[in-house]
Amino acid sequence: MRLSIKLILLLYVISTSFIWAQAPLKIYCIDVNTGSSTLIISPTNEYVLIDAGMTNYGASTVYPFLQNLGITHLDYTIATHYHEDHIGGMDEVIYALSSFGSNDSILNWCYDRGDSTPPSNNIYTGYASAAGSKRRVIGLDETLNLGGGAFMFCIARNGTVMNGMSVTPSTGENYRSCAFILVYNNFRFYVGGDLTGNPVSGDPDVESKAARVTGDVNVYVANHHGGRNSSITVFLDSLRPEAAIFSQGTIPSNNNHPHQEAIDRLVAHNTYMYQMNDNLTGGVIPTGHGRILNTTASINVNNTYYTINGDTYQIYGFNGDAGCLSILEPHDTITEGSIITPQALVKNYGTSAMSFIVRFKIGEAYNHIKTIIGLVPNDTIIITFDTAWYATRGNYIVTCSTEVQGDVNTNNDRQVGNLTVAFYDNEVSEILSPSQGQILFYGDTIRPKAIVKDNSEYSNPAQVKIYCLIHNNQVIYLDSLTRIYNPGITDTINFPAMSITPVSEGVYQCSVWVVRNNDLMPSNDYKTVQFIIHDPNGIEWNESSPSPVNNQDFRLVTLKLYNISGRLINTQIFYRSVDNILKQPRHWFKNLASGIYFLHITAIPSDHNSAPFTQTKKIVILPNN
């Protein structure tokens, strides 16, 4: 993160007074106009030259630059790739430093991407012959120890990155660029030639694969001079550079680097940009997000801070940074009783593998941790917490946060979400009409009426369907209504009235029930009452009356005796023809108190064809004395 202007100015005063000159590590992005050339001077004065600009710029610009610094040899040269704006001047530098016609000024190696599909032009052959026997293919993850604690390693070459991920070989040259991370204590610097992100003709996306291995850097030399097809978001998400350098020229060309799209993505990553030249036709860095240098970018790296052309940035002592990317479960609305296993997506934004704790909280109801071990830089992991949670109704704030000792950026630690655990329940509280045991006669009117409640909590208004059914052996009434209920409401439902036409006499059931999606308590959804429909002109029957089923041939006769309240007192079943069985009901229904009863008779004829005989009779049991 950038420092306040005040602190920058304070450190600037300090640095310009005495510390600046003593910077142990120096990096120069040499102004070679259109092209790139980066010089690294290690704390022990090892010299690495990465690229050397266009043809003629090696002789006219890079070599004089080295001379000014008193540099008479190079420990390594590196060609990121074989485009002229990178290697055009390299042979000139090698020859200028060396004895006539030799490369003896290169103490170690001239590293490059090797000779797979090289361009067939004299730019390449000129470089290759100057490097001569010093040429070496840079190894992925090969570490160049530059002394004094500075080292650099190659993370990408020929479209393959150091973790083995690679793109399908294509015809482009830019995507084959070698990319490097330079490390000095806690300072990290990226330079990677013209590595591409957004796939373009011949140049596939290597950046998104390299993003998995780069980790956080302080300074980023923008890939491809700030071109729109590089510096893609996922790559910058990994690098998170504080400062970026556009190594580009004054000459308006087809390229017009840097492009606005790349600038905008760097702005989005809060990266301060240094544009080496004003070409009048490239993108524009918004005010406050960078400036045009019109010269070489000079980076002086100390132990705790570094400067870029006088601007000072702090170097943090620890680059460990992990955070929670998102809460996967639970979220939004769930129902009470759900068994929840919290899940979250966690990322290591740091530069080394980390072990740390992740904490998950659901209000005050759940608070558990999960330990992550050895999550590699830039990797994400879905974690599932070991303890499950039985969801109880309520509104909760859900948080997931990483707990990293000395986390350099705590802003990305925590994700917060809202959770509603809703309880859904509608019940039929009571059937008011018909009442239990009510006796209705032909010609009466039934007005079914019931009380329905919505017992839901933390729920939105919901649609509920309410049914009423009246039946004995046959359905004589069925109606339904739809209501929208708010939680907590009590409603009295009046179903349409119905006039009782002559139907079978007998005991009827009136049932009322509710149907609601996700109702969590089905046991209270249904209520029923029994009532009697009677023929006012029907036979009043007593022990001296002739049996209604007398002398007929029935297979099965069921007698159900109800009291005046409609409650079932007794059931008798006869599996045979009956004769005179009803002559003495006291005999079949023992210990009956005197009073009025209703006897419901169902008799199934033996012939299998005739309809069942049903009848309800009022019985008067006289006092037994």
Binding site for Zn ion (CB under 5 A): 85, 194
Q: For the chain, give the number of residues.
A: 625
| Nearest distance, CB of residue 228 and Zn ion, angstroms | 14
By beta-carbon proximity to Zn ion, the closer residue of 80 and 426 is 80
Q: Are 541 and 444 in contact (CB under 8 A)?
A: no
Q: How far is the CB of 34 from Zn ion (least distance, A)?
A: 8
Residues 6 or more apart whose Cβ sits within 8 Å of residue 364: none
Residue 194 or 427: the one with the smaller Cβ distance to Zn ion is 194
User: In 3D, which of 236, 164, 223, 160 has the Cα closest to residue 195?
Assistant: 223
Least Cβ distance, residue 81 to Zn ion (angstroms): 8
Write phi, then psi, for 6 (nearest 5 degrees): -60, -45
The least CB distance from residue 356 to Zn ion, in Å, is: 40
Please state the closest distance from residue 176 (CB atom) to Zn ion, in A.
12
Count of C-beta atoms within a 10 Å radius of residue 317: 12
Residue 229 or 298 with smaller CB distance to Zn ion? 229
Nearer to Zn ion, 255 or 456 (CB): 255
- Is 84 or 311 the residue whose CB approaches Zn ion more closely? 84
Q: Tell me the β-bridge partners of 195.
A: none
Nearer to Zn ion, 46 or 194 (CB): 194
Tell me whether residue 191 or residue 512 sits nearer to Zn ion (CB atom). Answer: 191
Closest CA to 12 of 329, 308, 422: 308
Cβ contacts of 520 within 8 Å, gap of 6 or more: 335, 336, 337, 423, 424, 425
- Nearest approach in angstroms of CB 36 to Zn ion is 6
Minimal distance in Å, beta carbon 194 to Zn ion?
A: 4
**Partners of 533 in beta bridges:** 440, 506
Residue closer to Zn ion by CB (options 253, 304) is 253
Cβ-contact 495, 510 below 8 angstroms: no
| Residue closer to Zn ion (CB basis): 172 or 487 | 172
Residue 309 to residue 569: CA distance in whole angstroms: 103
| CB-nearer residue toward Zn ion: 54 or 219 | 54
Tell me if 297 sits within 8 A of 385, measured CB to CB: no
Residue 230: DSSP 8-state:
S
Burial label, 221 (beta-carbon count in 10 A; 0-12, 13-18, 19+): buried
435 backbone dihedrals φ, ψ, rounded to 5°: -85, 160
> Rounded to the nearest whole angstrom, what is the least distance from the CB of residue 245 to Zn ion in the complex?
14
Q: Taking the complex as a whole, how short is the minimal distance between the CB of residue 83 and Zn ion, in angstroms?
A: 5
Indicate left, alpha or beta for 288 from its phi (over 0: left) and psi (-120 to 50: alpha): left
Residue closer to Zn ion by CB (options 79, 285) is: 79
- Give the residue with the Cβ less far from Zn ion, 85 or 535: 85
Count CB atoms within 10 A of the CB of residue 185.
17
Please identify which residue in the block is written with the tokens 């957004």. Answer: 198
CA distances from 158 to 116, 182, 208, 239 (A): 8, 19, 15, 20
Q: What SS3 class is residue 525?
A: coil
CB of 224 to Zn ion, least distance (A): 6
**Cα 377 from Cα 320, distance rounded (Å):** 9
Closest residue by Cα to residue 326 from 252, 401, 236:
401
Distance of alpha carbon 619 from its chain centroid, rounded? 73
As to burial, measured by CB atoms within 10 angstroms (0-12 exposed, 13-18 middle, 19+ buried), residue 329 is middle
Shortest distance, position 258 Cβ to Zn ion, whole Å: 12
Give the DSSP letter of residue 18: I
Residue 346 CB, nearest approach to Zn ion (Å): 37
